[in-house]
Amino acid sequence: MERVRAARPEDAPRISAVLIASIRELCAPDHEGDVAAIDAWIANKTPEQVAVWLEGEHGVRVAVEGGEIAAVGAVSGAGEVLLLYVAPEYRGRGHSAALLEVLEAELSEAGHDEARLVSTKTAHGFYLRHGWRNDGPEVACFRTRGQPMRKPLGPA
């Protein structure tokens, strides 16, 4: 992996493609091939919507390999990891872990003592391995279920 950087407006089409491919191909344990669930999940992942996110308050970051965006993550000002997805062809190369480390550091630097997220079934084990813990029962999320999680953040 080359680096993690802030997403730029011109990245919106590739970010959209990464999100959609990851959901369709890697998140099968969550949507189980249900077309309606997939469509609901990817409905707000268009290049146009991603461009709106890039103009807003979300801290969108990308992991880059060979000049190509391999993974994307984002946080909110409220201390939440909003998304963390890797392109299927880059899975297992450390991009998600590198992004998560950067996102957690940014939340800590912003003054958050802990971070929150809602995990997919697909990513649940990944987050547990990175120090996250379940935080209550599963919740409805894009016509599937998600696991709320929390992690204490150390000083910046």
Which distant-in-sequence residues (6+ apart) come within 8 Å of 95 by Cβ?
Answer: 1, 63, 65, 70, 71, 86
141 has a pLDDT exceeding 90: no
H/E/C letters for each residue in 101-121?
Answer: HHHHHHHHHCCCCEEEEEECH
In the numeric block, the tokens 């909110």 are attached to 76
63 has a pLDDT exceeding 90: yes
Predicted confidence at residue 99, as pLDDT, reads: 96
In the chain, domain spans: 3-152
Give the closest residue to 62 by CA, choosing from 8, 120, 126. Answer: 8
- State the Cα–Cα distance between residues 15 and 71, nearest whole angstrom: 8
- State the Cα–Cα distance between residues 47 and 28, nearest whole angstrom: 22
> Domain 3-152 adopts which CATH fold?
Aminopeptidase (3.40.630)
Predicted confidence at residue 58, as pLDDT, reads: 72
Could you give the percent of the chain with pLDDT greater than 70? 96
155 has a pLDDT exceeding 70: no
Most confidently predicted of 31-45, 56-70, 97-111, 134-148: 97-111
Mean pLDDT of 101-110: 95
Lowest mean pLDDT among 54-58, 63-67, 88-92, 97-101: 54-58
Mean pLDDT of 116-130: 94
Question: Given pLDDT bands bounded at 50, 70 and 90, which one contains residue 142?
Answer: low
Amino acid in position 11? D
